[in-house]
Amino acid sequence: MKQAKDRWLQIGKELLWLKAVIESRLDQLNGEADFSFPKAPGKQLLRAVFGKSEIEAWGVEERFVLILALCPHIAPEFLDNIFTEKLSKAGDFPQLGGLRGQQFRGFLPTGETAIFLLAGNDLEKRLQYRKLFSTEHFFSKHQVLWLEDPPAGEPRLSGKIVLSSDYIDLLVQGEMSRPKFSLQFPAQLLETEMEWEDLVLPGTTLRQIEELEHWLKYHDKLMLDYGMSKRLKPGYRVMFHGPPGTGKTLTATLLGKRTGKDVYRVDLSMVVSKFIGETEKNLANLFARAENKDWILFFDEADALFGKRTNVRDAHDKYANQEVSYLLQRIESYDGLVILASNLKSNIDDAFLRRFQSIIHFPPPKAAERYRLWQQTFPKELSPDKSVDLTAIARKYEITGANIVNIVQYSCLTVLARKEKSIDEATIVEGINREFAKEGKIA
């Protein structure tokens, strides 16, 4: 609670400083006084969010733009009140820039707002401060804030200043909120109560998964301490392929849990749009949120974008191929682990396969693996009857781990409804038959 109060106290001081800067510039505009930057408060808030080394390289202009961008999110009337008080004369004041939102009724600062309040009409300084919104600036590289694209043909600085929701959270709450699944963020956090020891995979597959674990643990050391960043591309790209239910999603989830990283499953059906140009926009939103978070991105059913490329017959075919190229570009520049999953490796274009550092096969489990899955899936409180031969069942029925989970659930619920204390073989076999029927097979 004390930390929250201290943070709000610091935000209050930043707002008072912001107000003093704006008033000084408007006094100059009104011909009442020369402009000067008032003394800024301590940097405790900024150090807590960005780190001491980063903040020491900032000028007063970075601090001003950051707090200006934060202002509408915490004090919607703040800027309007200053302008109303200081600009008593009638006029449009185009140099102030600014927008009104569709729902937000307060003043939303644009690039022009920031540049004018910092530099006034001093052309040299106006040109100098444009760097704050360049792609090379800290703000852009770390997805802190940026300018929204203005309508075609209008000045770039007329775009609204957008402050990342992650940094709004860090400044206001002291920690980032996990993004919610939505059209703007078409990815869902994967979580599991299972542990690494619960993973049942063939030895070859498991050894390849352990290589991914090594990369997650040591890639920063390799790239930074050993100077390999000049030789290796950022990030790591891997394909998981194999039939449904063989553990691709679970493996990705447990890999994140084991290494302390969030895993987000990307819903490609929401990313891929029938409207030309929308797919790139959806992907840009996704990767903008993921940058610098060290997340694992898991693209399930990657065939939706990475299938065999179409011959260009019309504009839609042309843009479909462009969408794939754009996704490849974003994946290759992502400084984290990207996993693409497919049921069939043959569905993926060979040109795309060459982009992956690893291609890992998840085959259907063999009899010994199926036996382990049967053993560990049944709850201790409701186990199979002593007469049930799980070894024989594992040998006889070629099914996946996902099938086994469904069968165990069916068997447990059936036995509970009968108020029995153990599961008989007939109930298990009935569950197996139900799974085969779902897939159009005969047991």
280 near 326, Cβ under 8 Å? yes
Is 180 within the bounds of a domain?
Answer: no
Same-domain status, 297 and 387: no
CATH number, domain containing residue 411: 1.10.8.60
Within a domain: residue 182?
no
**DSSP strand E in 345-397: where?**
358-361
pLDDT of residue 87: 83
Structural domain harbouring 345: 187-361
pLDDT, one tens digit per residue, over 326-380 is 778 888 888 899 999 988 887 777 777 788 899 999 999 999 999 999 999 999 9
Q: What is the DSSP string of 77-96?
A: THHHHHHHHH--S----GGG
Same domain, 166 and 220: no
Domain termination site, one of 173, 201, 222: 173
Integer Cα distance of 41 and 350 in angstroms: 58
Residues 6 or more apart whose CB falls under 8 angstroms from that of 39 comprise 17
Q: How far apart are CA 424 and CA 394, in angstroms?
A: 15
The reported pLDDT for the residue numbered 216 is 94
Residue 242 has pLDDT above 90, yes or no: yes
Task: Determine the pLDDT at residue 346.
Answer: 78
Reported confidence tier of residue 320, pLDDT bands at 50, 70, 90: low
Confidence (pLDDT) at 282:
74
Structural domain count, the chain = 3
In what helix (H) or strand (E) does residue 170 lie, and over which residues does it extend? Answer: helix 165-173
What the block records as the tokens of 318 is 């042309």
Question: How many Cα neighbours within 13 Å face the side chain of 337?
Answer: 30
* Residues 202 and 348 occupy one common structural domain: yes
Structure tokens at 433: 């038959």
Please check whether residue 136 lies inside any domain of the structure: yes
User: How far is Cα 373 from Cα 404, in angstroms, rounded to an integer?
Assistant: 7
**Same-domain check for residues 19 and 146:** yes
Report residue 394 as tokens.
């594992």
Contact 316, 276 (CB under 8 A): yes
Q: Are 192 and 328 within one domain? A: yes
Residue 443 forms part of a structural domain: no
Contact 396, 427 (CB under 8 A): no
Q: What is the mean pLDDT of residues 22-28?
A: 94
Question: Nearest 5°: phi and psi at 227?
Answer: 65, 25
- On whether residue 165 sits in a domain, the answer given is yes
Q: 312: domain CATH number?
A: 3.40.50.300
Regarding whether 284 and 193 lie in a shared domain, the answer is yes
> Is position 31 within any domain?
yes
Q: Which amino acid is at 352?
A: F
Are residues 249 and 190 in contact, defined by beta-carbon separation less than 8 angstroms?
yes
Task: Answer yes or no: do 336 and 392 share one domain.
Answer: no
How many helices and strands, by DSSP H and E, does the chain display?
20, 10
Percent of the chain with pLDDT over 70: 92
What are φ and ψ of residue 13, in 5° steps? -65, -40
DSSP 238-306: EEEE-STTSSHHHHHHHHHHHHT--EEEE-HHHHS-SSTTHHHHHHHHHHHHHTTTTPEEEESSTHHHH
pLDDT above 80: residue 322: no
Residue 315 has pLDDT above 50, yes or no: no
Is residue 441 exposed (0-12), middle (13-18) or buried (19+ Cβ within 10 Å)? exposed
Residue 393: predicted pLDDT:
96
Alpha-carbon gap, residue 317 to 310, rounded angstroms: 6
CB contact at 8 A, 236 and 174: no
Q: Model confidence over 46-56: pLDDT tens digits?
A: 999 988 888 88
Answer yes or no: do 297 and 422 share one domain. no
- Separation CA 93–CA 101 (nearest Å): 19
Query: In terms of domains, do 51 and 158 share one?
Result: yes
End-to-end CA gap in the chain: 61
Q: Is residue 329 part of a domain?
A: yes
Give the mean pLDDT of 178-192: 87
Distance CA 213, CA 255 (A): 7
Q: 247 with 362: CB under 8 angstroms?
A: yes
- Of 125, 145, 173, which residue constitutes the final position of a domain? 173
Boundary (domain end) residue, out of 128, 149, 173: 173
Q: What is the pTM of this model?
A: 0.78
Q: Which tens digit of pLDDT belongs to each residue from 123-156?
A: 999 999 999 999 999 999 888 999 999 999 999 9
Q: Is residue 95 part of a domain?
A: yes
Residues 127 and 7 in one domain: yes
Q: For residue 362, report the phi and psi dihedrals to the nearest 5 degrees.
A: -110, 90
Residues 200 and 125 in one domain: no
Residues 139 and 43 in one domain: yes
Q: What is the mean pLDDT of residues 182-200?
A: 91
